[in-house]
Structure formats: structure tokens, C-alpha cells
Structure 1
Amino acid sequence: MKGAVQQEPAYVVHRRPWRETALLVDLFTLNHGRMSLVARGANSARSPLKAQLQPFQPLLVDWTGKSDLKTLVQLEVRSAPSVRHSRALYSGFYINELVQRILPVADPSPVLFASYIETLQALSDLSPEADVEPLLRGFERAFAASLGYDFAWDETTDTGQPVEAGKFYGYDPVEGIVSGLRPELPLRQLSGEALIALAAGDFTHELPRKTAKRVMRVLVDYLLQGKPLHSRSLFSHSHPSSGRTP
């Protein structure tokens, strides 16, 4: 069968009704990146596909088609830990939206796929009181690297010099961490101490956490070209007084 793919590891990152009884499903796959499939009959009352094509559920998928829009042939559901409590769920929706809204179509990224699986595993293990931000920042970094926007927290791209405690730095989505505090930079006055802590993976203190969140938000907004992320509103509604959003 032309254009046929079999037993492709995949996760659903988004789905919506399509025509009368079908679902249009966006998948994140191991060997083909982000793909869109039509699941015919999946939105009908008697189809088991509607329950199987769920976010965070590992699948093995068969599809066919030569255009960008493929047709689901069959799938196999694999076992996996479940993402349950609200903050873990909202975090999962957030990383799914990054993949669905930003990742190029049919551009394989096995390293990001592995990071995605690791993040879902960590979210499933997370207690309701645990801190989710280090997990989100880690996935955002992997996501940025897959798109060619990786950078070092503790090195300036304009001079190649290491970041120093007691100094302040800027951030630009294209350039990364820079030494000059030019007025056109999206972020300025980033603490050298905070950047050094982030390079060591230390999220213990509030300043590095806030710094990482500010930097990654600027990068994500740049990649979205100003379009809003719907998953951020879930965080806002669930924590109205804290303002906790990715």
C-alpha cells in the first residue's frame, strides 16, 4: 500500500471532530514528527477509537496516504502510567500544545520524542504538592533545542565568555544569553547568579526559577509569533491568586 506506515510509536497531542463521524487527530510520532490523521468513524457512538485516541496514551499507529493528511488504518494501545491530578494534566496539555502549535509537520525529532516520554513519566509520578516548574523548563529547553534555539545559561553568545556572578545579562530568542544590555532586547537585567544556578540545574531558589520562566516564556511567545497559548489559561483558572502559568 502506497504511503503506508505501520507500528509507528505515537501520542495524541490534539483532536477535533471532522466532517460527520470522523476525528482529525494530530500525533507526535517517533520517526515522522508531528502528523495529522483522519480517523474515520472515530467520532461515532459505537467506535472504540474515540476512547483510544486520548492525550498521554502511548499508541502504535498504522496509517496510509501520500498527502500531508493521512488516514488512520488501525492502532494498538500500549500501557503507560496515567497523568491524573490537575497541575500534571495542565502541564501535559501545555507540552502537547507546544508540539501541536509550533513543531513543523513531518520533521522527525527522536530526541524530543524521548524527552516528551520522560516528561509524561515524570508528570505521572508527580504528587499534587510537588513543583512542576523544573519539568516544564526542562521540556521547553529540549523543545527549543529541537528547533535550533538552544543556548547555554552560563555563556554569552556575543562574546563567548562565561557568565559571572555580580553581573547582569540580556536574552534574545535568536541570540540566547548576551552580555550587552541593549534596549531592544526582550529581557534585560538577568542576574549572573541566577543564570549560573540554572546552568547547574538548580531550581532551589526563587530567582533562578523566575529567571528561567521569564526566558522560556519570551522564547515560546517568539516561536508562537504572538499567538496565545490556550493551556496557559488553564493554569490561570486553576490558580487565580498565584498567577501560576508556564
Structure 2
Amino acid sequence: MAAPVQGEPGYVLHRRPYRETSLLVDVLTLNHGRLGLVARGANSARSPLKAQLQPFQPLLLDWQGRSDLKTLVQLEVRDGPAPKGTVALYSGLYLNELLQRLVPEGDPLPELFACYIDSLHALADTTDVEPVLRRFEMAFAQALGYGFDWGWVTDLGREVEPRGYYCYDPGQGILAHPTPETRLQSLAGDTLLGLAAGDYGSADSRRLAKRVMRVLVDHLLQGRPLHSRSLFHKG
């Protein structure tokens, strides 16, 4: 039998009712990656777990079990910031859905876990969410093997030229020449170099980075909808 896990740092990504009185909880953890936990009795009126198993709440988790679906034994709630305001909340839910839908189960990604915590801190402290989202998406792409350098032209093997125009392909990064599958073209070199230097503040940088990340996320989702996107249109 697999050894019980105790005191594992983690966050709730999503939860839903399971059987009569339990919850099925998707969590992101530091050392065990994303996994599913059954919280027995947590959906009953008397259980404190229902209030504790909330998104964005830092937790220390204990679980046990041999199957892919483990059983939550107990948890400890820790202090931590949470997104403030409607747009920040929707942004946090977007991060959670990306992690829940696209991170492979049981694959530890400690750098992405740390970036997620940093993003929650930033969402709790700013009303300008777009730079936070774009930086997280870049870390997310890197963790899943789709990382790229804004300032490097993959098919030419050299740096982006400020006066040049380029393409983006999810599997190859920034390109000088489009492939038949290339969806994004005419990306300005000076804007790409600004992003490479960490500029997510200018209007051009924001617009270009958002377009590129939309294409990447859509590619990873393979046509499946991302439900959190609709929240921004409703808000």
C-alpha cells in the first residue's frame, strides 16, 4: 500500500459533489502535482471541510490510498492572499482552469507551483491583471514543454530584428516564415523585443502577447472550450 502523504502544500483548483455527502476535489500540490482527492462527508451540513476546501486558500494536505483517486485524511488551512475584485477573481479562476484542464495528473511542477503562488499574490495586490496573466501563461507554457523566447527566431536561429515582422506557431515559437498551420502573422519585431525584455505594459505588447497566448491555449485545448473565459464577457 502506498505510504500516506502528510503536510503537503496545495491549493484547490476545482471541486464538485461526489456520491451523497462527499466532494471530489482537484488540487495542485508542490511535490505530487495535480491530483484528485475524495473528501468524505465534506458536502454535509456539519462538515467544516466544505468551507475550508476553497479556491486560492493555501492548505497543508494529508491523504492516503493506492488508486489514482486518493482519500483526504485531514487538512490545515494557512494564511495567504486571495484575488480581490471581480476581474481578479475571474483571473484566478482562469488560472485554476488552465491548471485543472491541461496539467498532467501526478506530474510535479514546482516552478509552476511557485509561479501560481506569485500570481495569486499579484492578483491580490493589483487591478491590472493582464501582465499577471501573461507571465503566468509563459511559465505555464514552459512547464508543459511549449516555452519559447519572444526575441528568438526559431527557423532562422537568430535574434528578432526590430524592424522585422514575424509569425507564431505553438509548436515552434517565433518564426520568420509561416507554415501552412500558422495562424498568427505580422508580429512586429520591436514589440516582440519589448516582450523579451519584460515589457507587458504598453498597449502593443499587451495586444500581441494576448493574441499569442490565446493561440497557444487554444492549441493545447484542442478545440475544447475554456469556461472561465465567458466570465470576462459577463462581468
SS at structure 2 position matched to 1:114 = helix
Q: Does residue 1:92 correspond to 2:92, yes or no?
A: yes
Count of aligned residue pairs for this structure pair: 235
Offset at residue 120 of structure 1 (A):
0.3
* C-alpha distance in structure 2 between counterparts of 1:184 and 1:82, whole Å: 39
Checking the alignment, whether the CA contact within 8 Å between 2:131 and 2:201 is kept in structure 1 is no
Alignment equivalent of 2:156, drawn from 156, 159, 166: 159
The residue number in structure 2 matching 1:132 is 129
Q: Does residue 1:194 correspond to 2:191, yes or no?
A: yes
The residue number in structure 1 matching 2:39 is 39
User: Partner amino acid for 1:101?
Assistant: R
User: Partner amino acid for 2:25?
Assistant: V
SS at structure 2 position matched to 1:134 = helix
SS at structure 2 position matched to 1:188 = strand
The residue number in structure 2 matching 1:229 is 226
* C-alpha distance in structure 2 between counterparts of 1:144 and 1:93, whole Å: 18
* C-alpha distance in structure 2 between counterparts of 1:147 and 1:161, whole Å: 24
**Per-residue displacement from partner, 1:127-147 (whole Å, max 9, x unpaired)?**
xxx321000000000001001
Structure 1 length-normalised TM: 0.93
Checking the alignment, whether the CA contact within 8 Å between 2:134 and 2:213 is kept in structure 1 is yes
Checking the alignment, whether the CA contact within 8 Å between 1:151 and 1:177 is kept in structure 2 is yes
The residue number in structure 1 matching 2:70 is 70
* C-alpha distance in structure 2 between counterparts of 1:138 and 1:97, whole Å: 16
What is the root-mean-square deviation in Å for CA atoms of aligned residues? 1.0
Offset at residue 206 of structure 1 (A):
1.3
Checking the alignment, whether the CA contact within 8 Å between 1:63 and 1:71 is kept in structure 2 is yes
SS at structure 2 position matched to 1:230 = coil
* C-alpha distance in structure 2 between counterparts of 1:118 and 1:21, whole Å: 34
User: Partner amino acid for 1:205?
Assistant: S
The residue number in structure 2 matching 1:179 is 176
Checking the alignment, whether the CA contact within 8 Å between 1:181 and 1:189 is kept in structure 2 is no
User: Partner amino acid for 1:72?
Assistant: L
Which stretch of structure 1 is more off in the superposition, 43-52 or 159-168? 159-168
Checking the alignment, whether the CA contact within 8 Å between 2:31 and 2:110 is kept in structure 1 is yes
The residue number in structure 2 matching 1:143 is 140
SS at structure 2 position matched to 1:197 = helix
Task: Percent identity, please.
Answer: 63
**Per-residue displacement from partner, 1:100-150 (whole Å, max 9, x unpaired)?**
000000000000000000000111111xxx321000000000001001110
Offset at residue 167 of structure 1 (A):
1.1
The residue number in structure 2 matching 1:211 is 208
SS at structure 1 position matched to 2:113 = helix
Offset at residue 183 of structure 1 (A):
4.5
The residue number in structure 2 matching 1:57 is 57
* C-alpha distance in structure 1 between counterparts of 2:85 and 2:125, whole Å: 10
Offset at residue 3 of structure 1 (A):
3.4
Checking the alignment, whether the CA contact within 8 Å between 2:163 and 2:188 is kept in structure 1 is yes
Q: Does residue 1:123 correspond to 2:120, yes or no?
A: no
Structure 2 length-normalised TM: 0.98
SS at structure 1 position matched to 2:118 = helix
**Per-residue displacement from partner, 1:39-86 (whole Å, max 9, x unpaired)?**
000000000000000000000000001111000000000011232210
> 1:8-27 alignment to 2 at 5 Å?
8-27=8-27
* C-alpha distance in structure 2 between counterparts of 1:210 and 1:123, whole Å: 20
Query: 5+ residue gaps in structure 2?
Result: none
* C-alpha distance in structure 2 between counterparts of 1:146 and 1:153, whole Å: 16
Offset at residue 13 of structure 1 (A):
0.3
Query: 5+ residue gaps in structure 1?
Result: 239-246
Checking the alignment, whether the CA contact within 8 Å between 2:30 and 2:113 is kept in structure 1 is yes
